[in-house]
């Protein structure tokens, strides 16, 4: 019998462990370190429907009486729980062991996302609080743990999706799913992990590709600045392209010349490898981070969006990012990649990632495969008039943009969807604040304040229209030399200073109108309902979609092609589209694919329709 070496045994153990832990892959592929521990897997939990857990000091727990599989939410099948009712309070527990060789390191506890408000406790001691259900965050738990020891980690979660004070996205606000609203997600729904970082380590970087000047600009931040150096190396398939060393402080800017630059695009999604090394005063390498960068530029000229200085027509699909067994959480890394591949096989060159912040691994695959994306937040459900709600949203949006701004696949930032000017003061204020803030955090991309709603501060103009007749759609979009604009409505307000005497003031709100000075896109259309069993009365009662469904497959193909050709025929005025949608989701039956990702249609015919560009209309 062949002897098993120590190395081969270790590799076998790693292989077994990787398959035992759900979502075992590294969760942050654009900022990767070697010293990390995945905390996914079996945790204990307890629901706290009365909200009395704090009073009962559950933060001191050493284990609850029920089990859940993290990172899947308790509503999902993959969590092992499948509790579908509202969960306003919930507690998690697991033990964490700190390796002995982390003794001189900062120990960081990372959460991919926890919906919505979370509090973190170590051995019963409060460590941090976070607001925001879709943004990633980290907690420095160094003061609360010791190397070589095991500690109790408790996570307390609060969520009230019906309060209007937190964005809920497509989570349904009734008991059961309805219309285009689906199963809720509560608590931990992305990977939880530990990381060891040297006190002088690299905290983050902003990478700005400058294809016009043939250079990559990098702005670093550090946990502590103690006089060390930062070495940055840019590689093309292992070959060094550029290398620079600067002082390790936040005032330093690294400028890497990139000769014979290879640009990133859907046609050629080339990525450079980037290596960061922090070197202390004594010359020791104290931190190493692996990353990558795509050299690409997105900008606007007139009514067109440009990619790498060329007009680029976007053929997008609406992607809700829901999964039958994981809800908001993909069952595997391969599932994230597969969704992009399915979209590309259907003829799309990108997606509007709708009412959900997708995890970093999705953007990684979009970067690798050459897939355009629009970054959006889960804005539905929040009251834009409420100042505290706006404050929470601004904080979460800041974290979203900072986390994802280095991904070349993201072309547009879209914080909200279908906001129709709920008031004349706070909503415009929120939109203007979001515009200014986003431009400070990331000046390299267009900002799209609200998709298909009232445009207060935006770089592009969008409309939503689900007219099912191609001829009528064309007339609605472009008639007598005018493009479809936002509607007007009247809002009646009771003046506070006159009490309840029945007098009312009526304000005629004239929405901002399109001035033909920016790109105009129809970023929701189609949504053709198709369910092969839709002729059955039961299916008619349970399924949902836009318009009267076709009566045959041939009628479906004809309507679909007619709608797409209509939009393409207006390319002098309408510079791109987003079709609803990639997959069915629960009762919504207007996907190109079924909810389980199997195809509904002849995908060759579907690809022939969606792969058309304006010049081939």
- List the CATH number of the domain containing 86: 2.60.120.260
Q: Say yes or no: 311 and 375 in one domain.
A: yes
Q: Which residues contact 16 (CB under 8 A, 6 or more apart)?
A: none
Question: 64 in a domain, yes or no?
Answer: yes
Task: Say how far apart CA 171 and CA 190 lie, in whole Å.
Answer: 17
Sheet holding 117-122, edge to edge: 66-70, 41-47, 89-97, 150-158, 117-122, 125-131
Residue at a domain's end among 261, 293, 325? 293
Question: In the predicted model, is pLDDT for residue 491 greater than 70?
Answer: no
Q: Are residues 39 and 153 in the same domain?
A: yes
> Number of structural domains, the chain?
3
Whether residue 272 lies inside any domain: the answer is yes
Give backbone dihedrals phi and psi of 415, rounded to 5 degrees, phi first: -70, -35
Residues 538 and 558 in one domain: yes
Does 534 lie in the same domain as 459? yes
As a whole number, mean pLDDT of residues 465-470 equals: 96
CA distance linking residue 11 with residue 5, whole number of Å: 10
Same domain, 65 and 79: yes
Q: Are residues 340 and 265 in the same domain?
A: no
Q: How confident is the model at residue 368 (pLDDT cuts 50, 70, 90)?
A: very high
* Closest C-alpha among 100, 184, 169, 525 to residue 354: 169
Tens-place pLDDT, residues 524-573: 999 999 988 754 444 445 788 898 999 999 999 999 999 999 999 999 99
Mean pLDDT of 123-142: 98
Looking at residue 486, what is its pLDDT? 58
Q: Cβ distance 418 to 355 under 8 Å?
A: no
Range of the domain at 49: 21-197
At which of 278, 293, 308 does a domain end? 293
DSSP string, 262-281: PBB-SS-B--EEEEEEEE-T
4 — pLDDT class (breaks 50, 70, 90): very low
Residues 316 and 246 in one domain: no
Domain assignment present for residue 13? The answer is no
| Pair (289, 307) in one structural domain | no
Residues 250, 470: Cα–Cα separation, whole Å: 55
Tell me the average pLDDT across 488-499: 40
> Domain with 250 in it: what CATH number?
2.60.40.10
Q: Is residue 5 part of a domain?
A: no
| Domain endpoint, select from 181, 197, 213 | 197
The reply to whether 331 and 230 lie within a common domain is no
CA dist., res. 107 & res. 298, Å (int): 37
CB 448 within 8 A of CB 518: no
* Backbone dihedral angles phi then psi of residue 88, each to the nearest 5 degrees: -90, -25
Residue 531: inside a domain = yes
Asked if residue 241 and residue 125 are part of one domain, the reply reads: no
* Residue 9 belongs to some domain of the structure: no
**Token code pair at residue 567:** 């939009």
CA dist 454 and 136 (Å) reads 29
Contact 385, 422 (CB under 8 A): yes
Instruction: Return the SS3 of 566.
Output: helix
User: What is the per-residue pLDDT across 38-90, written as a single tens digit (0 to 9) for each?
Assistant: 999 999 999 999 999 999 999 999 999 999 999 999 999 999 999 999 999 99
Co-location of 522 and 433 in the same domain: yes
Residue with tokens 């965050």: 137
Please give the DSSP secondary-structure letter assigned to residue 164.
S
Same domain, 444 and 573: yes
Please check whether residue 378 lies inside any domain of the structure: yes
**Alpha helices, H only, 355-386:** 360-369
592-612 pLDDT per residue, tens: 999 999 999 999 999 999 999
Token pair 């595997």 is found at 332
Is 515 inside a domain boundary?
yes
Which of 466, 371, 454 lies closest to 416 in space, CA to CA? 454
């Amino acid at each position: 019998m062949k002897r098993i070496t120590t190395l081969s045994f270790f590799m076998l153990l790693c292989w077994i462990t990787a398959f035992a832990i759900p979502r075992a892959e590294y969760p942050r592929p654009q900022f990767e370190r070697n010293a990390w521990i995945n905390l996914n897997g079996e945790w204990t939990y307890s629901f706290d429907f009365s909200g009395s857990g704090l009073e009962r000091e559950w933060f001191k727990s050493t284990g609850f009486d029920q089990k859940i599989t993290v990172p899947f939410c308790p509503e999902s099948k993959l969590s092992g729980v499948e509790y579908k009712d509202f969960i306003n309070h919930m507690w998690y527990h697991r033990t964490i062991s700190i390796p002995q060789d982390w003794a001189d390191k900062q120990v960081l506890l990372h959460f991919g996302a926890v919906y919505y408000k979370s509090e973190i406790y170590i051995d019963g001691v409060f460590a941090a609080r976070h607001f925001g259900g879709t943004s990633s965050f980290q907690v420095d738990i160094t003061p609360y743990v010791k190397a070589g020891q095991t500690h109790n980690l408790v996570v307390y979660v609060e969520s009230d999706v019906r309060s209007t004070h937190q964005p809920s996205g497509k989570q349904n606000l009734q008991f059961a799913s309805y219309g285009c609203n689906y199963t809720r997600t509560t608590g931990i729904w992305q990977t939880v992990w530990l990381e060891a970082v040297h006190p002088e380590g690299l905290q983050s970087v902003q990478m700005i590709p400058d294809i016009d000047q043939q250079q990559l600009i990098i702005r670093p931040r550090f946990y502590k600045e103690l006089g060390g150096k930062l070495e940055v190396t840019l590689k093309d398939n292992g070959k060094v392209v550029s290398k620079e060393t600067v002082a390790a402080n936040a005032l330093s800017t690294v400028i890497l010349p990139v000769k014979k630059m290879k640009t990133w695009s859907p046609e050629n999604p080339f990525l450079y490898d980037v290596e960061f090394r922090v070197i202390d005063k004594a010359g020791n390498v104290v931190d190493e981070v692996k990353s990558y960068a795509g050299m690409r530029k997105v900008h606007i000229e007139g009514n067109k969006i440009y990619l790498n200085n060329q007009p680029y027509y976007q053929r997008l699909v609406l992607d809700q990012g829901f999964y039958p067994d994981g809800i908001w959480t993909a069952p595997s890394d391969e599932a994230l990649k597969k969704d992009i591949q399915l979209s590309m096989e259907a003829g799309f060159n990108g997606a509007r990632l709708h009412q959900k912040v997708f995890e970093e691994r999705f953007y990684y695959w979009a970067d690798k495969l050459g897939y355009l994306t629009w970054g959006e937040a889960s804005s539905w459900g929040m009251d834009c008039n409420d100042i505290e709600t706006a404050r929470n949203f601004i904080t979460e949006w800041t974290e979203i943009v900072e986390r994802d701004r280095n991904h070349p696949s993201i072309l547009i930032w879209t914080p909200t969807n279908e906001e129709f000017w709920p008031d004349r003061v706070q909503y415009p204020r929120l939109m203007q604040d979001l515009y200014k803030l986003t431009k400070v955090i990331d000046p390299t991309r267009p900002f799209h304040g609200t998709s298909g709603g009232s445009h207060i501060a935006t770089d592009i103009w969008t409309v939503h229209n689900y007219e099912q007749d191609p001829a009528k759609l064309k007339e609605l979009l472009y008639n007598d030399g005018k493009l479809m604009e936002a509607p007007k409505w009247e809002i009646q307000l009771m003046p506070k200073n006159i009490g309840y005497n029945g007098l009312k003031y009526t304000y005629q709100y004239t929405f901002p109108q399109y001035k033909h000075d920016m790109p105009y896109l129809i970023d929701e259309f189609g949504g053709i309902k198709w369910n092969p069993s839709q002729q059955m009365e039961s299916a008619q009662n349970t399924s949902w979609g836009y318009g009267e469904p076709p009566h045959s497959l041939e009628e479906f193909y004809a309507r679909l092609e007619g709608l797409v050709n209509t939009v393409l025929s207006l390319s002098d005025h309408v510079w791109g589209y987003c079709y609803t949608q990639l997959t069915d989701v629960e009762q919504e039956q207007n996907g190109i694919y079924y909810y389980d990702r199997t195809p509904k249609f002849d995908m060759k015919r579907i690809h022939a329709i969606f792969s058309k560009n304006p010049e081939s209309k």
